[in-house]
Amino acid sequence: MGPVGLSGDGDVLAVRAGGPLRGELRVPGDKSISHRALLLAGLADGISSISGLSDGADVAATAAAIGALGAAVESSGDVLSVRGGELREPQSAIDVGNSGTSIRLLAGIAAGCPFSTTLGGDASVNRRPMDRVAEPLRLMGAEVDGADGGRRAPLRITGGRLRGINWQPPVASAQVKGAVLLAGLFADGETVVRERVPTRAHTEEMLAAFGADVRVAGDEVAVRASRPAPFEFVVPGDPSSAAFWMVGATVVPGSEVTVHDVYHGQGRDGYLRVLARMGADLTVTPSGDRQVRLGCRWAPLRGVTVAAAEVPNLIDEIPVLAVAAAVADGPTRFEGAGELRHKESDRLRSVLEGLAALGAAAEVDGDTLVVHGGAELRSGRVEGAGDHRIAMAFCIGALAAAGEETIISGWRSVATSYPGFLEDLATCRES
C-alpha cells in the first residue's frame, strides 16, 4: 500500500512512516475567524461577502445557523455572501453538530433576540459544559434553560432586553468572551469582559474592524449596543491547522514545509513559541496584516516546561505538541492543562492513550500533562475519540513511527476542521 490508506467509509486511516515531508501549503481558513465572520455578517444590516472560509463541518454548522435565524446565505465559488440584519425565530432547533464554538457564540446572539432559540449538537457537544456561557447570559437578563439543570445543551434561550455586565470569566475561554461580547451588542449600557489570561482576540478585533462599538484597554474588552456594518473580508489560514505541518516537519527527519498566509495574533502563536523553545528550526515571516508565512525544517528537540498561563494560547495545539514532546530529549510538562478535559474529547486521556499506542510514555499528574520524551515511536492502533485534533495529531506521530502501519479509527472527525488534510499530506510527500 501507499503511505496512507482510508477505509471505504472514510473512518479508519492506515498510515505508515515514509520519506520526509517537503512542500508548500495553504491550510483552510481559520475556524475561529470563519465562525465570527459569519455571525457578524448575520448581524450586519446589508450584504457582506466573505472568502477563504474554513471548509470544515463546524463552520458549515454556523452558516446553516445564521440561515435558520433569518440571514440569506449564498455561495458562489470561494465567496459566501450573507444578507444580514433583522433576525427571526428559527422554525426548529438549531443543530451545531460537533461545534462548541458555534453553540457558545450563537448563545450570545440568541440571548439578545426577543424569541426562543433551541441550540443542540452531537453527543460530544451535549456533554460539554455550557454553564460558563449560560451564567453570564442569565445575569444579562436572558432566560437560559438546558439539560442537567441548565448546565448542558440542548439549550433553550429566550432573549430580549439585556443589560450590560462587568464579567470576569472563571475559565480562560475565547468562546465565553465572544458569547458575552456578542450579547453586549444588544444590551443597555456597557458590557465588559475582564480576562485573567488573555485568550484569542478575534471577537474584539473583528467587531472593531467592522465598525461595532468596542473598546479594548489592558485586560478589559467593552462593548456597547451597536451592530457591525456590512463588510468584505478574506479569512486568513488557520494556525491550528498549520501546527500539524510544523510539528510534522520537525519530527520527520529531512523535512522542510512552508505554510503560507497563516493568521498570527494574540492567543494563536503560543505553539510556535513552545516549538522554538524546544529547539525547532522555525521561521515566521510577516506576509500581511496579522499574517505570516511559516517555515519549519527537521531539528532535534528538547523537553520544556509549558506554564499554565501559556495554555489558553495553545489550547488546540497541545495534542500535536505532545507528539513533538514524545520524541524530544527529556520530559515536557504542560502545566494547568485541565481545560483539555472539556474539548471535543477528554484530550488529556486521548493524548495519553494515543501516545501509549505509539510507544511513548506520558502521565497526568493533577492538571499537568507530563510527556517523558526520548521515545522511539512505533506503529500502533490509535482511537481518534471522535476528536479531529487527536486523529490528526496521531497521524503526524505515525509519520515518525517505525514498524508497520498505524491504524487511526474515527478519522471522519477530521472533516470538523480540515477535510483536505490527506490531500495536503500527499502534496508534502510527493513534491
Smallest gap from residue 238 Cβ to ligand S3P (A)? 10
Interface stretch with ligand S3P, choices 69-77, 148-156, 172-180, 218-226 (CB under 6 A)? 172-180
Nearer to ligand S3P, 173 or 258 (CB): 173
Q: Is residue 313 involved in binding ligand S3P (CB under 6 A)?
A: no
Supply angle C-alpha 392, 277, 237, rounded to 5.
45
Q: Is residue 175 involved in binding ligand S3P (CB under 6 A)?
A: yes
Q: Which of 238, 261, 310, 316 binds ligand S3P (CB under 6 A)?
A: 316
d(CA 321, CA 215): 34
Q: Is residue 345 involved in binding ligand S3P (CB under 6 A)?
A: no
Q: Is residue 32 involved in binding ligand S3P (CB under 6 A)?
A: yes
Nearer to ligand S3P, 80 or 174 (CB): 174
Cell reading at 300: 532535534
Closest by CA to 114, choosing from 72, 77, 157, 146, is 157
Quick note: the x/- pattern for ligand S3P over 179-208, rule CB under 6 A, is ---------------------x--------
Catalytic residue among 58, 95, 238, 316: 316
Q: Which of 94, 165, 306, 315 binds ligand S3P (CB under 6 A)?
A: 315
Closest by CA to 425, choosing from 19, 78, 60, is 19
Supply angle C-alpha 228, 233, 239, rounded to 5.
110
Q: Any catalytic annotation for residue 213?
A: no
Q: Which of 102, 173, 332, 350 binds ligand S3P (CB under 6 A)?
A: 173
211 and 223 Cβ atoms separated by less than 8 Å: no
118 and 144 Cβ atoms separated by less than 8 Å: no
Query: Which residue(s) pair with 193 in the sheet?
Result: 167, 221
Nearer to ligand S3P, 106 or 174 (CB): 174
Helix (H) or strand (E) holding 393: helix 388-398
Residues 6+ apart with CB under 8 A from 123: none
β-sheet with 79-84: strand ranges across: 72-76, 79-84, 46-51, 232-234
Residues 6+ apart with CB under 8 A from 76: none
Smallest gap from residue 318 Cβ to ligand S3P (A)? 10
Q: Is residue 101 involved in binding ligand S3P (CB under 6 A)?
A: yes
Smallest gap from residue 38 Cβ to ligand S3P (A)? 12
Nearer to ligand S3P, 112 or 178 (CB): 178
Nearer to ligand S3P, 101 or 413 (CB): 101
Q: Is residue 248 involved in binding ligand S3P (CB under 6 A)?
A: no
253 and 267 Cβ atoms separated by less than 8 Å: no
Q: Which of 174, 278, 382, 422 binds ligand S3P (CB under 6 A)?
A: 174
> Could you give the 3-state DSSP secondary structure of residue 24?
strand
Smallest gap from residue 165 Cβ to ligand S3P (A)? 18
What number of chain residues touch ligand S3P (CB under 6 A)? Answer: 9
Closest by CA to 106, choosing from 92, 96, 91, is 96
Interface stretch with ligand S3P, choices 60-68, 144-152, 168-176, 327-335 (CB under 6 A)? 168-176
- Calculate the alpha carbon distances from 123 to 32, 174, 416 in Å: 21, 22, 14
Quick note: the x/- pattern for ligand S3P over 267-306, rule CB under 6 A, is ----------------------------------------
> Could you give the 3-state DSSP secondary structure of residue 313?
helix
d(CA 68, CA 65): 5
Residues that bind ligand S3P (CB under 6 A): 32, 101, 173-175, 178, 200, 315-316
Q: Annotated catalytic sites, by residue?
A: 316
